[in-house]
Amino acid sequence: MINEQLINPKSIVVVGGSDNIQKPGGKILKNIIDGGFGGKLYVTNLNSASVQGVSAFGDVTDLPEKIDLAVIAVAAKYCLHTVEVLAYQKRVKAFIIISAGFGEENEVGAALEKQIVKVVNEVGGCLIGPNCIGVLTTHHNSVFTTPIPPLEKEGADFISGSGATAVFIMEAGVSKGLKFNSVFSVGNSAQIGVEEVLEYLDITFDQEKSSKIKLLYLESISNPKKLLKHASSLIRKGCKIAAIKAGASEAGSRAASSHTGAMANSDLAVDTLFRKAGIVRCYGREELANVAAVFMGKPLVGKNIAVITHAGGPAVMLTDTLSNGGLMVPTIEGDRADVLLTKLFPGSSISNPIDFLATGTAEQLGYIIDACELDFDHIDAMVVVFGSPGLFPINEVYDVLHQKMSTCKKPIYPVLPSVVNAKDAIDEFLSKGNFGFSDEVNLGQALVKVYNTTFSQEIIDHQQYVNCYDVRQIIENQVSGYAAPEVVQALLDAAGVSRVQEIVSDDVDQLLSAVSEIGFPIVMKVVGPVHKSDVGGVVLNVENEAQLIAEFRRMMQINEAVGVMIQPMLKGTELFVGASYEPGFGHIVLCGLGGIFVEVLKDVSSGLCPVSHTEALAMIQKLRGYKIIQGVRGNIGVDEEVFADIIVRISQMLECAPEIKEMDINPLLGEDERIVAVDARIRIER
């Protein structure tokens, strides 16, 4: 666990410090000194009595006792002995190991890494790294890289699994005016990874003092449940979190035995986890920095945006981006709009986008922003796009923008495109604590992501629908493999999912007897093969006994056939619910339209168990075919509340039965409030 000695040390030793600031040990020492560290600073160096003006010790054994933090920048082979001396003799409780050559390199390095962790654990200490760039807090700059961004409590807490990527993301952020509160480069995460840092930020969160912006760069997620727990907790406390998870492509291929298995993968699990937690998922450094800059502004409440500009092209591109993402650029009209127009040069337009021409002045920009703030109640936020063709200074415009961003209650997002012509004016604007964007489309995409990332705080009652005891009684008596039809039926019954009446037999006379109760027409399905349709194992609209007998004989000749199932022929909209177990994450539940929609178009939504009723409704409403569920062209729709209820029931059943690794209900047939399971598969792994 991270401790106070790492965050706010009273003393630091740089092991392997140097006068050469092109080496990590030298640059770290310089950054700590330049950052104005107020505690005691020590350094070890084999060859010098003084390093960068700091008295040096030849060996760690010569150091005084009770040093809070050790930053180690010596070769990997010397690190274990160094840590042992510092931990056991000098009572050091916090370590940052910059050195590489550990688990990322070979098995010998991995073993050395484990020994170091053992020592640190024995003294109740914390370890960042090895193989990292270090740590930045408002108290010390223990990194060997630049830039050192502005550090203040209103800035972002940034946790990165990659040191070099952390530097590049900081550079992207600084160029937009982004500030930081802390930066943790966890390297190999030998003891403390991204999840553990997030846990610390959650446990120690203070509404008055802590940063409310968290940024993550992950190359792996070693503890998804911990990440979900503490990210959701921080978001409940008012924080905003954005993250990149690298490695989005599916690693390797799997032999899919169901529709769910074909679509579920590790990246879908990450996407589902982020959505459940309320994390804004980003896919690149610039996107993460843009989203973070949006976080720095006042909260976006509502989706109506006023686009204010003196250049038509950027306004059109921004309007397209916002509109395509679900935000609105609504028309501005009426008496107050007419009054505003009189204050602008002839030829200006205020219909939205508000174009006040290339000759527009700072004073006119002030009029426009005031009108959007005070007169146009349907406007929720403003984007101001203002650059320069290089004919005149635009500092006065940016001064007005600075003042309005400070005083307006509605958020204002500045786009400052003239990174060459107006570089000095932009630098001055950002130096006042503002943020800004160089590209209007990138800003629009960030706004869309932030607006469309929702967070459900609904409390989930795990026992609301499903009796876990009944589910466990069924599961405990099963072996690995696909469950028999009667077992599937029993599990659906335990979950309270309505199902069509089914009779399974390898005796045609039994089926003929049963059909007298069901009545024609019926559906016949082969029992045994997994993909029934692929082998001709499904026949619809069987209307008489002769056809039943003929199809029975044909199906029993299919390879792996062990029987035939008959069901009444029902009508309705075909729906789909499935689930797949992803190690570490738990079950991912998918829903969608059945039939061709899931097989070809893969029109599905996903949720991470346990799924609340609110989440289930959101999953349904995200589907591209949602209008079909609502009912179109005179067709009867499906009651989405009932559909959501089934998703929640399946989710709760899966929580009781982690042995279920994969399941499909396809199709569910829905018509208004009646939704019944027609076909289902469940695969169990003991």
Q: How many CB atoms lie within 10 A of CB 629?
A: 20
pLDDT per residue as tens digits for the range 563-607: 999 999 888 899 999 999 999 999 999 999 997 778 788 889 999
pLDDT per residue as tens digits for the range 617-670: 999 999 999 999 998 877 788 999 999 999 999 999 999 999 999 999 998 999
330 in the Ramachandran plot: left (φ > 0), alpha (ψ -120 to 50) or beta?
beta
The 94-97 sheet, strands edge to edge: 50-51, 54-57, 40-44, 11-15, 69-72, 94-97, 126-128
- Average pLDDT of the residues in 475-495: 93
* Spatial separation of the C-alpha atoms in residues 532 and 473, rounded to whole Å: 29
* Residue that the structure tokens 């590049």 belong to: 168
* Spatial separation of the C-alpha atoms in residues 238 and 36, rounded to whole Å: 32
Mean pLDDT, all residues of the chain: 92
Q: Say if residue 324's pLDDT is above 60.
A: yes
- Quote the pTM value: 0.89
- Average pLDDT of the residues in 226-254: 82
State residue 254's pLDDT score.
36
In this prediction, residue 500 has a pLDDT band, given cuts at 50, 70 and 90, of confident
* Spatial separation of the C-alpha atoms in residues 356 and 368, rounded to whole Å: 9
In this prediction, residue 252 has a pLDDT band, given cuts at 50, 70 and 90, of very low
Give me the domains of the chain, ranges plus CATH numbers.
4-131 (3.40.50.720), 147-249+257-282 (3.40.50.261), 297-452 (3.40.50.261), 457-500+570-686 (3.30.470.20), 510-568 (3.30.1490.20)
pLDDT per residue as tens digits for the range 376-419: 999 999 999 999 877 778 999 999 999 999 999 999 999 999 99
pLDDT per residue as tens digits for the range 421-439: 999 999 999 999 999 999 9
Surface-to-core class of residue 547, CB atoms within 10 Å of its CB (0-12 exposed, 13-18 middle, 19+ buried): middle
In this prediction, residue 251 has a pLDDT band, given cuts at 50, 70 and 90, of very low
* Spatial separation of the C-alpha atoms in residues 82 and 101, rounded to whole Å: 15
Give percent of the chain with pLDDT exceeding 90. Answer: 83
3-state secondary structure of 195: helix
pLDDT per residue as tens digits for the range 612-627: 999 999 999 999 999 9
- Average pLDDT of the residues in 247-269: 55
- Average pLDDT of the residues in 206-215: 96
pLDDT per residue as tens digits for the range 432-472: 999 999 999 999 999 999 999 987 666 565 556 788 999 99
CB proximity list for 306: less than 8 A, separation 6 or greater: 329, 332, 352, 353, 354, 372, 376, 379, 381, 382, 383
Answer yes or no: are the C-beta atoms of 401 and 365 closer than 8 Å. Answer: yes
Q: Are strands 50-51 and 54-57 parallel, antiparallel or unpaired?
A: antiparallel
3-state secondary structure of 191: coil
pLDDT per residue as tens digits for the range 390-401: 777 899 999 999
Residue 596 or 369, more confident: 369
Tell how far CA 473 is from the center of its chain: 36
Answer yes or no: are the C-beta atoms of 230 and 205 closer than 8 Å. Answer: no
Measured between its terminal Cα atoms, the distance across the chain in Å is 35
Give percent of the chain with pLDDT exceeding 70. Answer: 96
